């Protein structure tokens, strides 16, 4: 497995930024500063970063309701993300989407998604586009163990399978769909094995180990770029906070939480990189400090930004379709908002 | 009381060799089915109590669901974290409870972990992994019968001892003399130990033979998959039973073609070799970082100028020969007399 020193530094910085971002939201939400729902990705950083480390800006990802980590790993601007979550006009979607709808097409981030299982059909659309255009763009489709039970996910796997689309399906199995463990919600419980029925190779990996994710992701994404079709990866991971902020987390015990925190991805990354002599403690400490400062700055930017103008309420809601091209449909009786 | 343990590894048959080679995905529903048949086999020969390792996929729970058993069977009381160490800890707990046998479901890697904890308890290894040299491709009912016969003391003659490789990792400033004679090994391997030109343990599996510099094998039998096939194809039968083999690979060596992973034939170059008698050691040293891989999986990082001592130990885990177990019981009239009543 080849990985450059620059890539190692990048990966640690991205994982640390995600952790700081989520820890900050945890406290800001408790302080009543954030409107709407927030689902935090802390603990799962190695998955998003291990995958996105192999992607280019013109590759695509689809995300979930727990999408902040995917956004940061794909390079979405931190200040615009934070402002979006604060519901401010300077947000990535002008403050209208909030935490669950952050998107940045310029970075190939096709959107967080409030619909559980909403990502796979979108990923197939992006994959089909790349295939028809003959590009080598790859789409990574993140979803959770809960979404693994959704019809949309099965439809997406089927489409990707029959059309050999350049899509990597990544099931982030964090052990709970909202509050329910796969023991009660996933028939068979073997999520990775399900993909075998769709004719694609499938593996299960330690999602708490950046290096394990990075290596497996590299092989899967390279397959997709070579035109060899989709791959399914079940990344076994864990979220540190509740399903949403405000969740009292009564469905799991302290011993379990402490076990997974003892296998923390950032800690293990630091251990491996320093023991190998690839990075120094000082370098990593400096990244920690920079990440903290960047999140402070993003948070302040969000707090200082204006709320959206009420006159903006109906802009950017619908695309301005050329109605004449939609024949045989008639011009709607109600106006199209623009 | 005649007791047996079952360790079904939910992670076996799912590693990166599904991408880089052509390994089959071994789904956990099939493992559930296998455990059911093992339980029925155990019951049929008079086993009274079975403990099954708990796991995140609920293999044991599902196997027990709706299975009409007269014997007592339940999950082992231990937390399951879905880490490789689950199998080792389960084996240790089962050994402490004095089970007469442990049935394993996994590949070489799973059995290596179990062997680290099972002590003298015999193993009945059923193959559900990727590289399967140590475990057997065997019908689960038959495996259950054989395991039960051994646990009940009716086929002790069917238990043999497998060798293992004891691995000691020493830092650059340590000498072999610094190693106490009774020092426990840092790790073990059941089939093969290899020095792999790679910094990271990462996704664990190995498949690129161009990165291998040294291999120690406990066996080099023809027909195997994985690194032991290199030894078998190289020696072509000129290999004394009960011995191990050391191979040094380098570009200048003799080419040997072998299936190093499922569907993956590669050519390696054997530059030197040595047949190992029990107790023989091999010392490997690298002037750059590497990892030691055991039974097909990267495990221990070797930093620059670290070195490792690998010793062929004839006192590895005890293993059941299922055909022999059933033959021994049949010869004693076990299958032509009424079903034994356990006491």
Q: How far apart are CA A18 and CA A10, in angstroms?
A: 12
Q: Which DSSP string do the residues of B180-237 spell out, in sequence order? A: -TTPPPSEEESSEEEEES-S--TT-B---GGGEEEEEES---TT--STHHHHHHHHTT
Residue B343 lies in a domain: no
**Each residue's pLDDT tens digit in chain A (338 positions)?**
889 999 999 999 999 999 999 999 999 999 999 998 899 999 999 999 999 999 999 999 999 999 999 999 999 999 999 999 999 999 999 999 999 999 999 999 999 999 999 999 999 999 999 999 999 999 999 999 999 999 999 999 999 999 999 999 999 999 999 999 988 898 888 899 999 899 999 999 999 999 999 999 999 999 999 999 999 999 999 999 999 999 999 999 999 999 999 999 999 999 999 998 999 999 999 999 999 999 999 999 999 999 999 988 888 877 766 655 555 555 555 555 54
Chain centroid to CA A277: how far?
Answer: 31
CB atoms within 10 A of CB B9: 29
Bridge partners for B36 per DSSP: none
Look at chain B and report how many structural domains it folds into. Answer: 2
Q: From the list B28, B81, B199, which residue is nearest A189 (CB)?
A: B28
Chain B residue numbers with beta carbons less than 8 Å from the beta carbon of A3 are 200
Q: How far apart are CA A41 and CA A73, in angstroms?
A: 12
Give yes or no for residue B95 having a pLDDT over 80.
Answer: yes
By DSSP bridging, strand A167-173 and strand A202-206 are unpaired
The number of residues in chain B equals 343
- Please say whether the beta carbons of B2 and B44 come within 8 A: no
Same domain as B200, residue B87? no
Return the residue of A nearest to B289 by Cα: A276
Chain B nearest CA to A97, separation (Å): 36
Please indicate whether, in this complex, the C-beta atoms of B16 and A214 are within 8 angstroms of each other: no
Same domain as B255, residue B126? no
Q: Which DSSP string do the residues of A205-232 spell out, in sequence order? A: EETT-HHHHHHHHHHHHHHHHTT---EE
Domains, chain A, in order of start with CATH, read: 5-313 (3.40.50.970)
- For residue A249, give the DSSP letter: -
Q: From the list B11, B27, B204, which residue is nearest A196 (CB)?
A: B27
Q: Which two tokens stand for residue B69?
A: 């058993």
Which residue in B100, B17, B28, B101 sits closest to B59, CA to CA?
Answer: B28
Residue B324 lies in a domain: yes
Mean pLDDT for all residues in chain B: 92
Q: What is the CATH number of the domain that holds B216?
A: 2.60.200
Same domain as B260, residue B125? no
Please indicate whether, in this complex, the C-beta atoms of B29 and A190 are within 8 angstroms of each other: yes
Q: How far apart are CA B44 and CA B27, in angstroms?
A: 27
A250-289 residues touching B, CB cutoff 8 A? 255-256, 259, 263, 272, 275-278
Residue B212 has phi, psi (to 5 degrees) of: -95, 130
Give residue A338's pLDDT. Answer: 46
| A201 interfacial to chain B (CB closer than 8 Å) | yes
By DSSP bridging, strand B318-320 and strand B187-189 are unpaired
Give residue for tokens 């007399």: B337
Q: Which two tokens stand for residue B163?
A: 């060798």
Same domain as B288, residue B215? yes
Rg of chain A in Å (alpha carbons): 20
Same domain as B188, residue B120? no
- For residue B18, give the DSSP letter: H
Report the half-sphere exposure of B209 (CA within 13 A, side-chain side). Answer: 26
Give residue for tokens 């070579």: A226
By DSSP bridging, strand B49-52 and strand B307-313 are unpaired
Handedness of CA A62, A65, A71, A77 (dihedral sign): positive
- The number of C-beta contacts closer than 8 angstroms across A and B is 93
Q: How far apart are CA B286 and CA B308, in angstroms?
A: 9
Q: What is the CATH number of the domain that holds B153?
A: 3.40.50.10330
ipTM above 0.95, yes or no: no
Same domain as B229, residue B140? no
Per-residue pLDDT reduced to its tens digit, B213-257: 999 999 988 888 899 999 999 988 777 888 999 999 999 999 999
Same domain as B264, residue B175? yes
Residue B342 lies in a domain: no
- Please say whether the beta carbons of B249 and B215 come within 8 A: yes
- Please say whether the beta carbons of B20 and B135 come within 8 A: no
Q: Which two tokens stand for residue A52?
A: 């996105």
Question: What average pLDDT does range B312-335 have in this prediction?
Answer: 96
Per-residue pLDDT reduced to its tens digit, A319-334: 766 655 555 555 555 5
Residue B80 lies in a domain: yes
Per-residue pLDDT reduced to its tens digit, B15-68: 999 999 888 888 899 999 999 999 999 999 999 999 999 998 889 999 999 999
The parent domain of residue B13 ranges over 3-162+317-336
Same domain as B119, residue B173? no
Same domain as B183, residue B141? no
Same domain as B274, residue B228? yes
Per-residue pLDDT reduced to its tens digit, A73-116: 999 999 999 999 999 999 999 999 999 999 999 999 999 999 99
Which residue in B180, B179, B259, B168 sits closest to B222, CA to CA?
Answer: B259
Please indicate whether, in this complex, the C-beta atoms of B200 and A231 are within 8 angstroms of each other: no
Q: Which two tokens stand for residue B74?
A: 């339940």
Q: How far apart are CA A282 and CA A266, in angstroms?
A: 15
Give residue A336's pLDDT. Answer: 53
Q: How far apart are CA B83 and CA B69, in angstroms?
A: 30
B180: burial class by Cβ within 10 Å (0-12, 13-18, 19+)?
exposed
- Please say whether the beta carbons of A24 and A299 come within 8 A: yes
Residue B41 lies in a domain: yes
The number of residues in chain A equals 338
- For residue A101, give the DSSP letter: G
Give residue B160's pLDDT. Answer: 97
Q: Could you tell me the pTM of the whole model? A: 0.92
Which residue in B202, B192, B161 sits closest to B282, CA to CA?
Answer: B192
A140-199 residues touching B, CB cutoff 8 A? 175, 182-183, 188-190, 192-193, 195-196
Residue ranges of alpha helices (H) inside B74-198 are: 85-96, 108-115, 140-151
* DSSP reduced 3-state for B161: strand
Q: How far apart are CA A62 and CA A138, in angstroms?
A: 11
Residue ranges of alpha helices (H) inside chain A are: 5-30, 45-52, 68-74, 78-85, 119-133, 151-163, 182-185, 191-194, 210-225, 254-261, 265-275, 281-304
Handedness of CA B128, B134, B136, B142 (dihedral sign): negative
Chain A nearest CA to B244, separation (Å): 30
Handedness of CA A84, A88, A91, A97 (dihedral sign): positive
Please indicate whether, in this complex, the C-beta atoms of A276 and B81 are within 8 angstroms of each other: no
- For residue B136, give the DSSP letter: B
Same domain as B156, residue B12? yes
| A51 interfacial to chain B (CB closer than 8 Å) | no
Chain B nearest CA to A220, separation (Å): 7
Q: From the list B79, B199, B301, which residue is nearest A255 (CB)?
A: B79
Q: Which two tokens stand for residue A85?
A: 């979550």
Residue A235 has phi, psi (to 5 degrees) of: -100, 115
Give residue for tokens 């497995």: A1
Residue B175's pLDDT band, with cuts at 50, 70 and 90, is confident
Which residue in A187, A148, A243 sits closest to B58, CA to CA?
Answer: A187
Same domain as B195, residue B150? no
By DSSP bridging, strand B212-217 and strand B192-196 are antiparallel
């Amino acid at each position: 497995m080849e990985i450059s020193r620059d890539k190692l530094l990048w990966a640690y910085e991205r994982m640390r930024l995600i952790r700081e971002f989520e820890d900050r939201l945890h406290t800001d939400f408790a302080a009543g500063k954030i409107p709407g729902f927030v689902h935090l990705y802390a603990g799962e950083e190695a998955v998003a970063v291990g995958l996105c480390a192999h992607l280019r800006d013109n590759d695509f990802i689809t995300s979930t309701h727990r999408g902040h980590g995917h956004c940061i790993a794909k390079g979405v601007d931190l200040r615009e993300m934070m402002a979006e979550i604060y519901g401010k006009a300077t947000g990535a979607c002008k403050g209208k989407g909030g935490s669950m709808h952050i998107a940045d097409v310029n970075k190939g981030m096709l959107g967080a998604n409030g619909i559980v299982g909403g990502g796979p059909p979108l990923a197939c659309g992006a994959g089909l586009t790349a295939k028809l255009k003959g590009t080598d763009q790859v789409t990574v489709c993140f979803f959770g163990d809960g979404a693994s039970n959704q019809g949309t996910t099965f439809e997406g796997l089927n489409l990707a399978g029959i059309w050999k689309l350049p899509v990597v399906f990544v099931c982030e199995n964090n052990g709970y769909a909202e509050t329910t463990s796969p023991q009660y919600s996933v028939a068979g419980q073997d999520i990775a094995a399900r993909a075998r029925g769709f004719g694609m190779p499938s593996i299960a990996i330690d999602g708490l180990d950046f290096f394990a994710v990075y290596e497996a992701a590299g092989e899967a994404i390279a397959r997709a770029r070579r035109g060899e079709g989709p791959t399914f990866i079940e990344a076994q991971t864990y979220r540190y906070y509740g399903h949403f902020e405000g969740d009292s987390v009564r469905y799991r015990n302290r011993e379990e939480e402490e076990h997974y925190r003892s296998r923390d991805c950032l800690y293990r990354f630091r251990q491996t990189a320093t023991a190998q002599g690839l990075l120094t403690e000082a370098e990593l400490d400096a990244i920690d400090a920079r990440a903290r400062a960047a999140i402070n700055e993003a948070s302040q930017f969000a707090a200082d930004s204006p709320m959206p103008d009420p006159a903006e309420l109906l802009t950017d809601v619908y695309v301005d379709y050329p109605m004449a091209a939609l024949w045989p449909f008639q011009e709607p009786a109600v106006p199209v908002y623009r | 009381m005649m007791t047996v343990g079952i360790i079904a590894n939910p992670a076996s048959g799912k590693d990166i060799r599904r991408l880089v080679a052509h390994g089959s995905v071994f789904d956990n529903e099939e493992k559930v089915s296998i455990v059911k048949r093992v339980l029925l086999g155990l019951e049929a020969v008079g086993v009274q109590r079975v403990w099954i390792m708990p796991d995140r996929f609920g293999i044991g729970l599902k196997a027990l669901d709706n299975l009409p058993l007269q014997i007592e069977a339940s999950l082992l009381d231990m937390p399951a974290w879905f880490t490789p160490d689950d199998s080792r800890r389960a084996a240790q707990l089962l050994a402490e409870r004095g089970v007469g046998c442990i049935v394993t479901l996994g590949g070489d890697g799973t059995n290596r972990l179990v062997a680290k904890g099972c002590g003298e308890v015999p193993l009945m290894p059923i193959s559900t992994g990727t590289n399967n040299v140590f475990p057997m491709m065997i019908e689960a009912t038959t495996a259950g019968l054989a395991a039960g016969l051994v646990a009940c003391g009716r086929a002790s003659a069917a238990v043999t001892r497998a060798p293992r490789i004891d691995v000691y990792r020493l830092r650059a400033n340590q000498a072999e003399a610094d190693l106490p004679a009774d020092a426990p090994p840092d790790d073990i391997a059941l089939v093969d130990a290899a020095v792999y030109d790679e910094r990271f343990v990462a996704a664990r599996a190995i498949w690129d033979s161009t990165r291998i510099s040294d291999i120690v094998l406990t066996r080099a039998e023809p027909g195997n998959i994985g690194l032991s096939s290199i030894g078998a194809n190289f020696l072509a039968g000129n290999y004394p039973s009960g011995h191990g083999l050391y191979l040094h690979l380098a570009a200048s060596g003799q080419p040997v073609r072998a299936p190093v992973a499922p569907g993956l034939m590669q050519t390696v170059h054997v530059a030197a070799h040595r047949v190992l008698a029990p107790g023989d050691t091999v010392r490997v040293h690298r002037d750059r970082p590497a990892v030691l891989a055991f039974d097909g999986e990267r495990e221990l990082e070797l930093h620059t100028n670290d070195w490792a001592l690998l010793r062929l130990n004839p006192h590895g885990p005890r293993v059941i020969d299922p055909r022999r177990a059933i033959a021994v019981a049949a010869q004693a009239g076990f299958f032509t007399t009424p079903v034994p009543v356990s006491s």
